[in-house]
Structure 1
């Protein structure tokens, strides 16, 4: 009887947790050390850029590597709310062919959420 009750309570807890919204992941550091401003529908860091670089056999692969680099460092520093390169403002991308037949890309952008 006690075992059945424990299983039932666990199931109720899982069902209740499944209905909760996802929790935002903003560690608060961005607003405490950088000026922020609204730019359209986004909140952006005013004067702080992040950089990423990547290499790959194609431009698409090198860009994916560079974006992954940018996003992982930004997530580490400010949380995942800030870590989408697609949301960054003042983006700049530069790619070039490497001597070995691959592609190298460098990106920069101001984190926004």
Structure 2
């Protein structure tokens, strides 16, 4: 029985993700600049795109670290470290539904 418990504990430890990568993906917002509105074409409706085109581009919105990492093409670790040393910011190179929702809520205040 003792060998079984030790083996089960070793198996559970091996299947557990590494805790050393202590990245807090919800611990703050990152300023994301959108320089090319077309990256949001697939995520916003025509009225929202038209309204966004009427704003002075580039536009900046605040999003969680995980969203920023996704749309800016950087790792969450880099952005999390930037948050520790000051304000983290990046430029979006791709769109996402989460980025589009933030743009809509923070800049357009429209319902989709």
Name the TM-score, length of structure 2 as normaliser: 0.27
Quick check: which has more Rg, 1 or 2?
Answer: 1
The structure with the greater share of residues assigned to strand is: 1
Higher relative contact order (CA 8 A, sep 6+): 2
Name the TM-score, length of structure 1 as normaliser: 0.27
